[in-house]
């Protein structure tokens, strides 16, 4: 098993695989990550997908018949040059199967509708375009090469060390509850289980939502995290006021509202969620 981009999610996937007796290798960008993974018993090699030349990526290890690809796209533009570089670098050493983490952002704004996997993607923000372009590149590559690709469209990831506590401590306001969009989430441990299940049981070419299926209001989310952590709630402002005060990145999230169903992942991948809602997840995050 090879994890390309082995950070917060990848380390948990590696641990699950190791617990199942599988050898795990990884590709990361920084030497600090190599050392951190070594301590977990994962042999990691360095490659920067932003700068590799042709043939610059070390050949895929023999263990790489199954690849988890978790490297995020670059921060700008509408392309995923990193994924393109990796596909190119694979050359003929292609894997048998790839599990790819995409995002639910590919659906764009759905006006708060419930969304299933067969809804046509309609990306709005550039960050969502990069993901959609990456999904399409992978599926075309799959068709041409015969490599099986399974796509997980992942909601907002939370978990130990991944709560917006710094944002809450900053005191920067958030948008009023009645003007805030729906958001969707998944606890990192459930996401790791879904990734492993997708490698084992996902249908080739199939898309699965990775979310807990319990969408909530974005402002409620911040308030619930603040309450659980014993911090003061953030002040609320109107959407009109937010336009001048919040960052363009945050504003782009405020313009998108959708509620994601996860029936396909639960039924086809056979994963039982340890953290089926935010209440259960927050208890776990804050007790560690
Ligand atoms: N945060 C969310 O709510 C959310 C939602 C949906 C999807 N996702 C996606 O889920 C995936 C996994 O997330 P995560 O939290 O595990 O991310 P993460 O902790 O930032 O890990 C990303 C990994 O990719 C590697 N990487 C980054 N740039 C690279 C490059 N140019 N060349 C080679 N490797 C590179 C990093 O290497 P180093 O460790 O050496 O830095 C790291 O190992 C990402 O694609 C993320 O965008 C996130």
Token pair for residue 58?
């070390």
For ligand 1, whether the C-beta of 156 sits within 6 Å is yes
Atom of ligand 1 nearest to the CA of 11: 16
Domain count, the chain: 1
152 in any annotated domain: yes
Does residue 8 have its Cβ closer than 6 Å to ligand 1?
A: yes
What are the mean pLDDT values of the chain's consecutive 10-residue runs (288 residues total)?
96 98 95 96 93 64 80 96 91 87 98 98 96 97 94 98 97 96 98 98 98 97 97 96 89 95 97 95 89
Q: How far apart are CA 88 and CA 82, in angstroms?
A: 10
Ligand 1 pocket, 30 CB below 6 A?
yes
Side-chain-side CA neighbours of 21 within 13 Å: the count stands at 0
Whether 230 is in a domain gets the answer no
Establish if 50 belongs to a structural domain: yes
Determine the pLDDT at residue 240: 94
The torsion defined by the Cα of 247, 250, 256 and 261, in degrees rounded to 10, comes to 180
Ligand 1: centre distance to CA 223 (Å): 27
**Strand runs labelled E in 11-147:** 25-28, 43-46, 66-69, 97-103, 114-115
What is residue 62's predicted lDDT score, i.e. its pLDDT? Answer: 52
Ramachandran angles phi, psi of 144, nearest 5°: -75, -35
Q: Which of 11, 26, 72, 88 to mutate to test the pocket of ligand 1 (most atoms within 8 A of CB)?
A: 72
For atom 20 of ligand 1, the residue with the nearest CA is 7
Look at residue 285 and tell me if it is in a domain. Answer: no
Neighbours of 20 (CB within 10 A): 10
Rounded distance from Cα 118 to ligand 1 centre (Å): 26
Q: What is the pLDDT of residue 60?
A: 58
288 belongs to a structural domain: no
- Strand runs labelled E in 108-239: 114-115, 148-154, 156-158, 174-175, 182-183, 185-187, 207-210, 216-217, 236-237
Q: Which domain covers residue 81, as residue numbers?
A: 2-161+185-214+259-275
Ligand 1 binding pocket includes 5 (Cβ within 6 Å) = yes
pLDDT score, position 94: 84
Phi, psi values for residue 151, rounded to 5°: -110, 130
**Pocket perturbation via mutation, ligand 1, pick of 2, 15, 28 by most ligand atoms within 8 A of CB:** 28
**pTM of the full structure:** 0.96
Instruction: Tell whether ligand 1 has an atom less than 6 A from the beta carbon of residue 126.
Output: no
- Is 228 among the domain residues? no
253 lies in a domain? no
The CATH number of residue 74's host domain is 3.40.50.720
Would you say residue 232 lies in a domain? no
User: In whole angstroms, what is the distance from residue 175 CA to residue 236 CA?
Assistant: 5
């Amino acid at each position: 098993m090879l994890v390309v981009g082995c950070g917060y999610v990848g380390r948990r996937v590696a641990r699950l695989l190791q617990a199942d007796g599988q050898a795990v290798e990884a590709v990361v960008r920084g030497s600090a990550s190599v050392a951190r993974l070594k301590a977990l018993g994962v042999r990691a090699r360095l490659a920067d997908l932003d700068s590799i030349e042709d043939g610059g990526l070390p050949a895929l290890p023999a263990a790489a018949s199954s690849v988890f690809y978790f490297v995020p796209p670059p921060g700008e533009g509408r392309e995923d040059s990193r994924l393109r570089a990796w596909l190119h670098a694979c050359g003929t050493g292609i894997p048998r199967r790839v599990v790819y983490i995409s995002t639910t952002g590919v659906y764009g704004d759905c006006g708060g509708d419930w969304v299933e996997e067969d809804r046509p993607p309609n990306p709005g923000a550039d960050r969502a375009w990069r993901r959609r372009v990456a999904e399409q590149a992978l599926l075309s590559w799959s068709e041409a090469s015969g490599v099986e690709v399974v796509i997980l469209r992942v909601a907002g990831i939370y978990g130990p060390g991944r709560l917006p506590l710094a944002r809450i401590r900053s005191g920067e306001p958030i948008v009023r509850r009645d003007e805030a969009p729906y958001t969707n989430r998944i606890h990192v441990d459930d996401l790791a289980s879904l990734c492993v299940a997708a490698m084992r049981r996902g249908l080739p070419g199939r898309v699965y939502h990775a979310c807990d299926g319990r969408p909530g209001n974005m402002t409620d989310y911040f308030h619930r995290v603040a309450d659980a952590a014993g911090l003061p709630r953030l002040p609320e402002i109107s959407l009109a006021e937010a336009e001048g005060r919040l960052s363009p990145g945050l504003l782009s999230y405020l313009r998108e509202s959708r509620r994601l169903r996860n029936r396909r992942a639960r039924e086809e991948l056979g994963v039982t969620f340890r953290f089926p809602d935010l209440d259960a997840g927050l208890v776990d995050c804050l007790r560690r």
